[in-house]
Structure 1
Amino acid sequence: MNINQGLRLVAGIMILVSLALTYFVHVNWVYFTVFIAANLIQSAFTNWCPMMTIMKKMGMQQ
């Protein structure tokens, strides 16, 4: 698995977790989903994502 595939996997899992927390725990967890979306939009314009930096440090191949 390369960094792009890992990033998509992590983003998808985080969105599903945040939506489950919104539904089962409290409605304010929707702001976590908003944060994830804002980070994805930001990374599309700047070509930098904090999760990609973490994955590179973990030794994931590009």
Structure 2
Amino acid sequence: MNLDRAVLALAGTITLLSALLATLVSPWWLLLTAFVGINLLQSSITGFCPAAIIFKALGLRSGCAFR
């Protein structure tokens, strides 16, 4: 798995978990989904992604999006 796939897998997992928690616990969990979406949009514009930095420090090899 490369860095790009790990970031997308993390974002997708958190989004699905947030939607599940919003259904079962409280609609306020949708704020987490919004945060993930805003972070993805921000990282597509600026190229800065905290998750990519963490995954890179853990030793994942770079992909095309995050270097």
Stretches of structure 1 that go unaligned for 5 or more consecutive residues are none
* Counterparts of 2:5 and 2:30, CA distance in 1: 25
Q: TM-score, normalised by structure 2?
A: 0.89
Deviations 1:3-60 (A, max 9, x none): 0011111111010000001000101011000000000000010011110000011111
Partner of 1:51: 51
Letter in 2 for 1:53: I
Runs of 4+ in 1 over 6 A off after TM superposition: none
> What RMSD in Å do the two structures reach over aligned CA positions?
0.6
Partner of 2:16: 16
Letter in 2 for 1:23: T
Higher helix share: 1
Identity %: 34
